[in-house]
Chains A and B, each alone.
Chain A
Amino acid sequence: MKRVNIFAWFIFIIGVIYFFLPLFSTFEFSLRMKKGVYSFEAYRVAFQDPKFYYNFGSSILWASLTIVFSLLLVVPTAYWVHWRLPKARPIVEFFTLMPFVTPAVVLTFGLIRLYGKPPLVLTPTPIPMIAGYIVLSLPYMFRSVDAGLRAIDIRTLTEAALSLGAGWGTIITQVIFPNIRVAILSGVFLTFAIVMGEFVFASLLGWPAFATYLEEIESMRPYTPQALTLVSFGITWIMMILIQWLGRGAPGAGEAAVGH
């Protein structure tokens, strides 16, 4: 038994080194902008660039749009599947898992070829990109909303609301949504983390974004990309901690992160 324990520690320590060495190196690298001394110069330069705010802000906008439309699409659909059409579940689930079959590059390629020429030209608008992000978020969104709906008694809630004279809009926004809010949030945070770091769609469809900006400044300004890499890592980390924190005691929440 003791031998096994040493082996476990050994593996764990290798894992920790593998996790943290790149982070520590990135931090050390980001401090080396001024020759010979460690300084936060790279961070100062990075946060002084107006383009940083423009691209970072764009990414936040894309993430917000993705979250809003993804929720508008997923919540009523998942609710309807639970309440009226359980037999549609396999089909809906199949589509939510499609991003695992069509990688982002392939989907971008298909969208550009399809909507880059008449009859329907969408490439001058951000619609293909946002749609792509929604597709990427579908597995996580559907999973968290689904788990949230499973944890509450939607039949009783819906029938109670119907018999009190509520319409479908009221039921979704006033009854169902508040009850699965916590479960939804884990999908929302994960989507936020994914879109903030996403590169493929923005780069190939030509829209400003945090990741494409990061890639652009790499050749022009050494050291600052590493400073912003830590910012990006921080965003992902905060989102994961929020998901975990929500998962405490809330039914269905926190499942999205393990979903994959």
Chain B
Amino acid sequence: MGVVAESSTRHTDGGAPQARPRNSLSEWTAWLGLLPFFVFALMFLILPSISIFYNSFMDRSGNFTFANIIALFTVRDIVNAYRTSLTISLITAVGGGIFGFLLAYSVIMGGLPRQLRSFLLTFSGVASNFAGVPLAFAFIATIGNAGLVTRLIEDVLNTDIHASGFTIYNIYGLSIVYMYFQFPLMVLIMAPALDGLRREWREACENLGGTEWHYWRYVALPILMPTLLGTMILLFGNAFGAYATAYAFSGSFINLVTILIGAQIQGDVLYNPGLGNALALGMIVIMSLSMTGYITLQRRASRWLK
């Protein structure tokens, strides 16, 4: 679409002779039209990022240092925070990815009534945007100390799950909570991808004597794989950057990187302002890597789908 628009621009420009001498000037004025957007991006995206980068290499008195970056890999609290954040992100990306895929498969190809499909897609749109404080409260009411499921188990099985050492206020509990917005996102992205699998591919496979297994193993899964992995990476980043849910759910019991950065903003808990910048920089690096992976896989995916 962009290519078509571009070539037609050239055509009109070339057809108007009087426009030629002013071409470079009008190109300049054209860029001026984007000035407000670029000023906004500079002020509220680029400069904050540069400031984080720059201050990561500054010590308290403003001299250049690698100490903050080294601290990322050596200070125990920081290493633990990264480990916890990465673990939760990995668990919920893989878990949410697999379950979301199966759910999308069920409503698209599993022969369920069509109404269920649009119902699930609407609900996935809601749930994937339902995060933060309210989500935490919903799960506290479900499996918290006085939650409905906790009390049901207590009444029916006569055991207090929380007394016997079980707690949802750890990374596994938080993973269950995160799943609520993770797998709906997977459903939203996988559903159109599954729709994009053409009937001809299956028929071609069957005509060649392939079974259901052959179709999935050699046709459908290889085509879907970039979308599948790419979306899981997206889920990973989604969980990695989350703050409010964990904050409202567990106070600061679960030491995530985002929680640590938040604490660092509210009061220099690491007793070193430069360290906060390094923490933030570490997040940006990890998020950039995962976005790069996502975009690469997205390109691969568009070879067959869409």
Contacts and interface: CB of A to CB of B under 8 A. Distances in A.
A243 B283 CA distance: 32
Interface string B36-52: 11001101110111011
A25 B118 CA distance: 25
A53 interface: no
B255 interface: no
Contacts of B34: 77, 80-81, 85, 88, 92
| Chain B contact residues: helix, strand, loop or mixed | helix
B54 to A, nearest CB: 10
B115 to A, nearest CB: 12
A19 B243 contact: no
A8 B105 contact: yes
Contact of B48 (A103, A114, A200): A114
B123 interface: yes
Interface in B17-45: 30-31, 33-34, 36-37, 40-41, 43-45
Interface in A246-260: 257-258, 260
Contacts of A112: 265
B30 A229 contact: no
A11 B109 CA distance: 12
Contacts of A197: 129-134
Chain B contact residues (Cβ within 8 angstroms of A): what range?
Answer: 35 or more
B36 A25 contact: no
B52 A110 contact: yes
Contact of B141 (A26, A89, A106): A26
B36 A76 contact: yes
Given A22-B138, A258-B188, A204 B31 contact: no
| Chain A contact residues: helix, strand, loop or mixed | helix
A199 B138 contact: no
A132 B265 CA distance: 16
A33 interface: no
Contacts of A125: none
A102 B116 contact: no
Contact of A131 (B40, B111, B192, B266): B40
A148 B195 CA distance: 23
Interface in A99-126: 100-114
Contacts of B9: 84, 86
Nearest to A241: B122
Contacts of B112: 5, 8-9, 12
A120 to B, nearest CB: 9
Contacts of B49: 102, 110
Contacts of B276: 109, 113
Contacts, number: 259
Contacts of A74: 37
A214 B122 contact: no
Nearest to A140: B129
B245 to A, nearest CB: 9
B2 A89 contact: yes
A1 B134 CA distance: 41
A135 interface: yes
Interface in B259-306: 261-262, 264-266, 276-277, 280, 283-284, 287-288, 291
Given A11-B102, A76-B36, A87-B6, A110 B51 contact: yes
Contacts of A200: 243-244, 262
Contacts of A134: 40, 44
B141 A204 contact: no
A114 B284 contact: no
A7 B295 CA distance: 33
B240 A103 contact: yes
A111 B128 contact: no
B159 to A, nearest CB: 19
B105 A101 contact: no
A149 B264 CA distance: 43
29 contacts: A4-B110, A11-B106, A12-B116, A15-B120, A21-B142, A21-B148, A29-B146, A77-B37, A80-B33, A80-B34, A84-B9, A85-B30, A103-B283, A109-B265, A111-B48, A113-B277, A198-B132, A200-B243, A200-B244, A211-B132, A214-B248, A226-B137, A229-B141, A232-B130, A233-B126, A233-B138, A236-B126, A240-B126, A260-B188
Interface of A: 1, 4-5, 7-9, 11-12, 15, 18-19, 21-26, 28-30, 73-74, 76-77, 80-82, 84-89, 92, 95, 97-98, 100-114, 128, 131-132, 134-135, 150, 155, 190, 193-194, 197-200, 203-204, 211-212, 214-215, 218, 225-226, 228-229, 232-233, 236-237, 240-241, 243-244, 257-258, 260
Q: Which 3 A-B pairs have the closest CB atoms?
A: A8-B110, A103-B241, A110-B48
Given A22-B180, A225-B137, 9 more contacts: A30-B141, A95-B37, A105-B261, A109-B277, A111-B48, A134-B44, A155-B5, A200-B243, A214-B248
